[in-house]
Structure 1
């Protein structure tokens, strides 16, 4: 099981006792089909909703566990509208449209289960009236809209290799006056370049990168065995190919892994970091990789670039040479609908490439 899944399974177990029994029953029902990470998000969404019900006087419960089915049955459309407004307009930290849709979808799933699937001792539904069935939830972003937001914010063509080269060499020039930054860069540049290169040459998600072990790498065949996002089979790792550039960069990092990161024999992780105050290397965290890419991106002149946009950069480049089905498999998408983003992105990429070529021929 992946590191994050283990953490989320423990957190899920800690939070469930705080929930009403019918929520625990729903989570048990979904457990074979959904990952602990997804179910933990569900529980957090229910936590938000139940606390709001209590704050608004729509539940008399002293705690979340005390919110009753009868109170859920009594909810009206204007109550759900009020909750939606609470999510989008609260001054502390308003939720994005995507987050609001996710939270409402989580509620719809729970209410559907209670009204259509779960039964009491007399075989009647646990919830007689389902107000959430009246709520229409529109998809947050269509592939075309997502593509429009990404245009101009990903790496294209030669920029993929330029960014890797910048991490390895160019960054040191830009921080020449900062001894601390220079020291950290000298120590980590091969690791950092290999991580960026791997994503830009395979399209892996950051969550998939942090879970990689040494044994998952078959450098000779340019192959990795990956625990794919959303998979509940923790015994199966999907083979994912990477391009030759990544093999070159990984080999440079691996030649330094044991010495630079004092890697103990028990540590299986592919990518290591030495935490402050410690002497041995440990598995890099998701947050550390995200912060690392942002650091280099800002100096590279692409402040909007993130780890996930590196994945988008690879996918756009890969789609130009392959069809939508191969791209879907390479990226580990559940459906081609998500992969359609790159069809829209490459429309512009192709037209710009043709215009550049025409301009060069006129010179």
Structure 2
């Protein structure tokens, strides 16, 4: 099992025991097909829903684990509408339409399992009435709409190389009066630039970067072997190509990996950090990489840039030279529908390029 899955599985095991027995049964049913990360999102959604039921007096349970099937079975449509309203209007951080749609889909999955798949000792459905079957989940994020939201929030053309160079050199000049920040940057700039370079030259997801081990790297053939999202075969790693520029950055970083981060021989992780007060380097976390990219992005003048938008940046650039099927394969998408986003993005890029040449 890859590193991120181990972490998520542990969190899932810790939280699922605080759910009603029928939710625990549902999670066990889904475990072979869905990743621990996805199931953890389900648990968070159920925690919020059951908490709301209890707060509204729709469940008499003192804790979420005490919510009963009968209480779910006797919910009225007005209660479901009320919960949806709660998600969109609650004062502490309202949810986007996409988030609300996902949370309602999580509930539909649970209610469908309880009413259509799970059985009691007499072979009857656990849930006799499924109120969530009446709830229509509209498709929110169409590829064209997603592309429109990404426009101006990703790196384009020469910016890909400029951002990597900024991490390696430019950021240091911008913070030269902050001795503590400058020291940290001098210590980590080669590693940080290498991570950004790898994503911008391969399109890897942050979880895939975190899970990389040194022996997953084939420098001669410019290949990485990664656990792809959605692939539950723990014995198979997918080969993913990266560009020449990233090869140079990886070679440079690898010369520093052991000595600078005091990385022990037993540590297999490709990207490591040496936390304050620690004597040995250890695998970087997903959160650390995300925070690192955001730090550089703000100074670079692209405050909306995130690790995932680096992946979008690569994909848009890659799609300009390749077809949708090669782009899908490179990014590890389950279907070309997801990859269509880059067709819409590059349509705009190409039209702008034509206009510039006409000037």
Same fold (TM > 0.5):
yes
Q: Structure 1 runs of 4+ off > 6 angstroms? A: none
Separation of aligned partners in 1, 2:148 and 2:315: 15
Q: How does 1:143-222 map to 2 (within 5 A)?
A: 143-222=143-222
- The reply on whether 1:116 has 2:135 as its aligned counterpart is no
Matching residue of 1:226: 226
Separation of aligned partners in 1, 2:186 and 2:41: 39
- The reply on whether 1:16 has 2:19 as its aligned counterpart is no
Instruction: Work out whether residues 210 and 286 of structure 2, in 8 Å CA contact, stay in contact via their aligned partners in 1.
Output: yes
Matching residue of 1:66: 66
**Structure 1 unmatched ranges of 5 or more:** none
Q: How does 1:1-363 map to 2 (within 5 A)?
A: 1-359=1-359
**Structure 2 unmatched ranges of 5 or more:** none
Separation of aligned partners in 1, 2:145 and 2:194: 32
Separation of aligned partners in 2, 1:323 and 1:197: 23
SS class of match (1:120): coil
Separation of aligned partners in 2, 1:295 and 1:70: 49
Separation of aligned partners in 2, 1:121 and 1:317: 57
**Which range moved further: 199-208 or 294-303?**
294-303
- For residues 177-232 of structure 1, the C-alpha deviation after alignment (integer angstroms, 9 at most, x for no partner) is 22222222211111111100000000001111011000100011000001112222
1:121, distance to aligned residue in structure 2 (A):
1.6
Separation of aligned partners in 2, 1:233 and 1:307: 26
SS class of match (1:354): helix
1:140, distance to aligned residue in structure 2 (A):
2.2
Separation of aligned partners in 2, 1:196 and 1:306: 10
Separation of aligned partners in 2, 1:91 and 1:324: 42
- For residues 95-125 of structure 1, the C-alpha deviation after alignment (integer angstroms, 9 at most, x for no partner) is 2222211111010001111111111122111
- For residues 17-36 of structure 1, the C-alpha deviation after alignment (integer angstroms, 9 at most, x for no partner) is 22112111111111111111
1:47, distance to aligned residue in structure 2 (A):
1.2
Separation of aligned partners in 1, 2:238 and 2:321: 22
Q: What's the RMSD between the two structures over aligned residues?
A: 1.1
Separation of aligned partners in 1, 2:183 and 2:284: 19
Separation of aligned partners in 2, 1:299 and 1:16: 41
Separation of aligned partners in 2, 1:174 and 1:120: 65
1:355, distance to aligned residue in structure 2 (A):
2.1
Separation of aligned partners in 2, 1:65 and 1:181: 46
Instruction: Work out whether residues 4 and 210 of structure 2, in 8 Å CA contact, stay in contact via their aligned partners in 1.
Output: no
Separation of aligned partners in 1, 2:81 and 2:229: 33
Separation of aligned partners in 2, 1:137 and 1:246: 42
Separation of aligned partners in 1, 2:58 and 2:355: 61
1:287, distance to aligned residue in structure 2 (A):
1.4
Separation of aligned partners in 1, 2:43 and 2:54: 16
TM-score, reference length from structure 1: 0.96
TM-score, reference length from structure 2: 0.97
Separation of aligned partners in 2, 1:150 and 1:290: 18
Separation of aligned partners in 2, 1:157 and 1:282: 34
Q: How many residues align?
A: 359
1:324, distance to aligned residue in structure 2 (A):
0.8
SS class of match (2:220): helix
